[in-house]
């Protein structure tokens, strides 16, 4: 196992292992049952086989944590009460009812969720905070939030707290780029303004979640975790506060074509149902439109890219340990 000194010159505790932070909103709000349960198990298994701890984040027991066990993680896998279970009566396979869905917890509502004692599923932004507080240097997720599309120009700008967190917490986030239903061009510009380096893992083009590539360029291409780790160490040596965003293109049979997804988005934006939407309702509406049009292809792509990102994050955590 590679071991590297921390910025203060100390070596890691030999009894500890590399860690990768994982979010819980993808389980509670992003994927249906039982795909969310299967993904939670798969991500823990992938990292375990690599000798890396899956450090899942959530608000649980009135605390922001980044060390959930697999059983605790599965509490955030929501679904229908009538969903079949592989192990009847077993706590690991009990699908949560929609009424029992955890609160989606970002930076703005984190204090209120903590004060209420509710279970909170952490977004990318809140997981970055939890990871930074826990001393975890790498996080894996699917796609980051960014600048949202607007139905009409006068509408106020809707921007994800993920961008603020990326400018604030100096960890390394491994993802498949911004979600394809966002204003990807504006998101790319915003990342540059915030001083967030965008590192393409084996790619010169920015991917967009399901889509392996977009017309937008990354800042630098790296072909190995070792190359990325060198950039991370230079960021740390300079004392820069922004995260490093490592974007991994989703390739293979489950990758979706950028133009195809954009056509779905454009059609949905001009549909009569879109006219009455508040700004906060645009993104869920577009996600539903993509899923309705692409069906199982979208779910399969989502699952595969999350597992691919976990593997890359595991490699990077090993190099930074």
Catalytic residue numbers read 23, 179
Tokens of 140: 């894996």
Total residues belonging to the chain: 321
Q: With beta carbons less than 8 A apart as the criterion, state whether 309 and 176 touch.
A: yes
- Residues 6 or more apart whose CB falls under 8 angstroms from that of 114 comprise 59, 62, 63, 64, 120
Tokens of 308: 């691919």
The backbone torsions φ and ψ at residue 193, rounded to the nearest 5 degrees and listed phi first, read -60, -40
Shortest CA distance to 190 belongs to which of 242, 264, 265?
242
Rounded Cα distance, 256 and 250, in Å = 9
Rounded Cα distance, 91 and 101, in Å = 16
Question: Around Cβ 253, how many Cβ atoms within 10 Å?
Answer: 8
Rounded Cα distance, 113 and 115, in Å = 5
- Measured between its terminal Cα atoms, the distance across the chain in Å is 8
The backbone torsions φ and ψ at residue 266, rounded to the nearest 5 degrees and listed phi first, read -60, -40
Q: Is the dihedral of CA 263, 246, 52, 125 positive or negative?
A: negative
- Residues 6 or more apart whose CB falls under 8 angstroms from that of 15 comprise none
Q: With beta carbons less than 8 A apart as the criterion, state whether 51 and 83 touch.
A: no
């Amino acid at each position: 196992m590679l071991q590297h000194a921390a910025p203060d010159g100390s070596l890691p505790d030999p009894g500890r292992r590399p860690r990768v932070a994982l979010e819980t909103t993808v389980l509670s709000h992003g994927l249906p049952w039982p795909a969310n349960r299967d993904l939670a198990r798969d991500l823990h298994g992938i990292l375990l086989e690599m000798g890396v701890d899956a450090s899942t984040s959530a608000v649980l027991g009135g605390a922001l944590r980044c060390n959930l066990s697999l059983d605790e993680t599965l509490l955030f896998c929501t679904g229908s009460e009538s969903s079949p279970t592989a192990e009847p009566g077993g706590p690991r396979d009990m699908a949560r009812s929609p009424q029992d869905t955890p609160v989606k917890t970002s930076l703005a509502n984190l204090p209120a969720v903590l004060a209420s004692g509710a279970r909170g599923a952490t977004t990318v932004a809140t997981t970055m905070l939890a990871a930074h507080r826990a001393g975890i240097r790498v996080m894996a997720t699917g796609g980051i939030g960014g600048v949202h599309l607007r139905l009409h120009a006068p509408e106020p700008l809707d921007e994800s707290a993920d961008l603020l967190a990326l400018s604030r917490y100096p960890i390394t986030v491994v993802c498949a780029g911004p979600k394809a239903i966002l204003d990807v061009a504006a998101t790319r510009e915003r990342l540059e303004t915030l001083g967030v380096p965008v590192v393409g893992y084996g790619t010169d083009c920015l991917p967009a979640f399901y889509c392996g590539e977009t017309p937008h360029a990354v800042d630098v291409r790296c072909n190995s975790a070792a190359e990325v780790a060198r950039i991370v160490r230079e960021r740390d040596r300079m004392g820069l506060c922004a995260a490093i965003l490592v974007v991994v293109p989703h390739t293979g049979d489950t990758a979706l074509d950028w133009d195809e997804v954009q056509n779905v988005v454009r059609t949905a934006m001009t549909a009569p149902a879109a006219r009455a939407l508040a700004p906060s309702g645009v993104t869920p509406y577009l996600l539903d439109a993509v899923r309705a049009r692409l069906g199982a292809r979208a779910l399969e792509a989502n699952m595969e890219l999350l597992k691919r990102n976990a593997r890359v994050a595991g490699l990077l955590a090993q190099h930074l340990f």
